[in-house]
Amino acid sequence: MDYDIIIGLEIHVELKTSSKIFCGCSNEFGGEPNTRCCPICLGMPGTLPVLNKKVLEYTIKAGLAMQCKIAKFSKFDRKNYFYPDMSKAYQVSQYDLPICYDGYVDIDVGDKTKRIGIERIHIEEDAGKLIHDSNGQESLIDYNRCGVPLIEIVTRPDLRSPEEAKILLETIKSILEYTEVSDCKMQEGSLRADVNLSLKRKGSKSLGVRTEMKNINSLRAVQRAAQAEAERQAGILGSGCEVYQETRRWDDNKGESFIMRGKEEAMDYRFFPEPDLPPVCVDEKFLKAIQASIPQLPRQRRERYVNDLGIPRYDADLITSNKHLADVFERASEVCGNPKLVSNWIMTDIMRRINEKGEEILNSHINGDNLGWILSSMERGEITHASAIQVIDVLIETGEEPGNIIERLGLKVQRDEALVVKAVKEVINKNPQALSDYLSGKEKAVGFLMGKSMAALKGRGDPIQVREILKKELQSYL
């Protein structure tokens, strides 16, 4: 292409508070329609908002994690527009004085680090959901999501490719997960991105006309939508036409976008200061307390895993991409004292099960404590590798305590010498051919008898001990 692609993102994130932003309704996802609503979030006459303190804390936390400055004085504004999912016909938002501004996020593009500016992060409230009735004549409204706290993160137009856009969104998602301000479930809409994109002729100083793309609901879709839009604009410019400033809607199934409204139809939101909410003043003490609650972020963790724990970079990357996984890794390493062993297990057996069963297994049954315990049992030779895998599978299935599983299934390694000697003797007696092979100098026979002995012990023998006893018994025939 003869153009540079200029991309900025606007990212909407639902905060993981217990209650909504201005009322005591539950901020849980879903629920029967309109059962998580009250007169306040429904904007009924005479009701008034009171700000949830956690919303301010979480926003500042997200801002600090993205190196933002935090405004000492901030206020709320009303954004006025009619849409049936917006119960008051205005959205409480922040216009000229956002809580967080002027930050950045570092992203890894290939083996280079790139710094993307964060222009601002502000607080606002989410709208309800419209369901289009099958008959096409009517729409139904569920206001359960109305009043769910949101932050909007606006990046600077520092992204230069659709891939960078996807990487940035991924990076921000993991920062938000690490700081635990959002669960970032894109499939549930708790993380949504708009892509602002324009093309600039290579070498030219003047910027091109920008479009805004809405309705992007997955990481993959960000990249696809940006790619498609870049190509669409290049096509227009290539044929000598003009790109129009417009808002478009991405259809991920069709893989193309459609115009929603042009510049002439731009909304006049009539922002003005929200008279029902006093301003917010943040002091140093409040800031420090929030700063102290921010955990080590993924990039810093990754470097620590590579440099201090000797974990391969690829593994460290994958483990830190998910906070739950990284937390499991760290705790399990502490418990069993062997980070490399833990990382190997995570990269193979644990990842395979996550892929099969979903990420939930990390939150429910597998945690750092029990994984560490299982692996250290294996290291001490109390269970075999095969048994360890079996314990993990049962654990995922039932949530039973690993010690119980080992006990119940009799997975403990069998070390009773008399029992092992008895089993080995029986195996030798039942396999005279193998014995004579051994006696005639065929070493392969040892392996065969070893397998049979282990099988006779139902796989629970300690291979080193079994091999020793087998050798001793065979030598007695010499």
Partner 1 sequence: MSICKKTIMETSELLRTKKIGAVELTKEYLKNIRKNADINAYVTVCENEAVNAAESAQKLLDSEDEVSPLCGIPMGIKDNICTKDIRTTCASKMLENFTPSYSATIYNKLQRSGAVLLGKLNMDEFAMGSSTEYTIFGSVHNPWNGEYVAGGSSGGSASAVAANLAAFALGSDTGGSIRQPASFCGVVGLKPTYGLVSRFGLIAFASSLDQIGPISKDITDCALIMNAIAGHDPKDSTSVKGHASDYLEDLDGKVDQLRIGLPMEFFDSALDGDVGAVIRNALKSLESRGATLSECSLPSIKNAVPAYYLISSSEASSNLARYDGIRFGYRNENAKNIADLYRLSRKEGFGSEVKRRILLGTYALSSGYQDELYKKALKVRSIISQEFNSAFEKYDVIAAPTCPTTAFKLGEKLNDPLKMYLNDIYTVAVNLAGLPAISVPCGKGKNGLPVGIQLIGKPFSEKLLLNVGKRIEKEIGRLEIEQKEGL
Partner 2 sequence: MAADIKTIKKIADLAAIFIEENELEAYAAQLDTIINYMEELKNLDIGDTKPMEHILQMNNVFREDKVTGQNMRNELIKNANIAKDGYFKVPAVVDLL
Amino acid at 287: L
Q: How far is the CB of 325 from partner 1 (least distance, A)?
A: 41
Please give the DSSP secondary-structure letter assigned to residue 109. Answer: E
| Residue 84 or 358 having the CB closest to partner 1 | 84
Q: Cβ closer to partner 2: 179 or 384?
A: 179
Query: Binders of partner 2 among 299-358, rule CB under 8 A?
Result: none
Report the C-alpha gap between 86 and 83 in whole angstroms. 6
The span from the CA of 101 to the CA of 97, in Å, is 9
Q: According to the binding rule CB under 8 A, does residue 242 interact with partner 2?
A: no
Whose CA is closest to 142, among 35, 19, 16, 13? 35
Under the rule (CB under 8 A), what is the footprint of partner 1? 39, 42-51, 78, 80, 82, 84, 87-90, 139, 141, 268, 270, 272, 275-278
**CB nearer partner 1, residue 127 or residue 186:** 127
- For residue 264, state whether it binds partner 2 (rule: CB under 8 A): no
Residue pair 115/155 in contact (Cβ under 8 Å)? The answer is no
78 binds, among partner 1, partner 2, none (CB under 5 to 8 A by kind): partner 1
Q: How far apart are CA 40 and CA 368, in angstroms?
A: 42
| Partner whose footprint covers residue 207, from partner 1, partner 2, none (CB < 5 to 8 Å by kind) | none
Give the nearest distance from C-beta 250 to partner 2 in angstroms.
Answer: 13
DSSP E strands in 355-411: the ranges are none
Helix axes 417-430, 444-456, angle to 10 degrees: 120
- How is residue 19 annotated by DSSP? B
Question: In 386-397, which positions are buried (b, 16+ CB within 10 angstroms) versus exposed (e)?
Answer: ebbbbbbebbbe
* Nearest CA among 252, 181, 260 for reference residue 16: 181
Nearest distance from residue 19's CB to partner 1, in Å?
14
Among 69, 132, 288, 408, binds partner 2 (CB under 8 A): 132
Rounded Cα distance, 170 and 458, in Å = 47
Least distance (Å) between residue 48 CB and partner 2: 11
Partner interacting with residue 36 (select from partner 2, partner 1, none; CB below 5-8 Å by kind): partner 2
Instruction: Kindly tell me which residue out of 111, 112, 134, 136 binds partner 2, with binding defined by CB under 8 A.
Output: 136
Near partner 2 by CB under 8 A: residue from 4, 10, 33, 379: 33
| Cβ burial, residue 111 (10 Å; 0-12/13-18/19+) | exposed
Identify which of residues 89 and 131 has a Cβ nearer to partner 1 in the complex. Answer: 89
Binds 136, which of partner 1, partner 2, none (CB < 5 to 8 A, cut-off by type)? partner 2
* Rg (the chain; Cα; Å): 30
Q: Which is nearer to partner 2, 247 or 370 (CB)?
A: 247
Please choose, out of 129-137, 150-158, 288-296, 320-328, the segment that lies near partner 2 by the rule CB under 8 A: 129-137
The CB-side HSE value for 112 (13 A sphere, CA atoms) comes to: 5
Among partner 2, partner 1, none, what does residue 289 contact (CB within 5–8 Å per kind)? none
How long is the chain? 478
Residue 49 vs 339, nearer CB to partner 2: 49
Choice between 26 and 67, CB closer to partner 2: 26
Q: Are strands 246-251 and 211-216 parallel, antiparallel or unpaired?
A: parallel
- How many residues sit close enough to partner 2 to count as binding (CB under 8 A)? 57
> In sequence order, what are the residues at sequence separation of 6 or more whose Cβ sits closer than 8 angstroms to the Cβ of residue 118?
66, 67, 68, 100, 102, 103, 104, 105, 153, 154, 155, 156
- The verdict on 94 binding partner 2 (CB under 8 A) reads no
Binding mask 200-239 for partner 2 (x = CB under 8 A): ----------------------------------------
Token duo for residue 435: 């014995």
Residue 47 binding result from partner 1, partner 2, none, given CB thresholds of 5 to 8 Å by partner type: partner 1
Enumerate residues 6+ apart whose C-beta is below 8 A from 99: 56, 59, 60, 63, 70, 71, 74, 121, 122, 123, 280, 282
Cβ-based nearer residue to partner 1, 34 or 465: 34
C-beta of 323: minimal distance to partner 2 in Å? Answer: 21
**C-beta closer to partner 1: residue 268 or 284:** 268
Q: Which spans of this chain sit near partner 2 (rule: CB under 8 A)?
A: 17-19, 23-27, 32-39, 42, 44, 50-56, 73, 75, 81-84, 130-133, 136-143, 247, 249, 260-261, 267-268, 270, 273, 275, 277-281
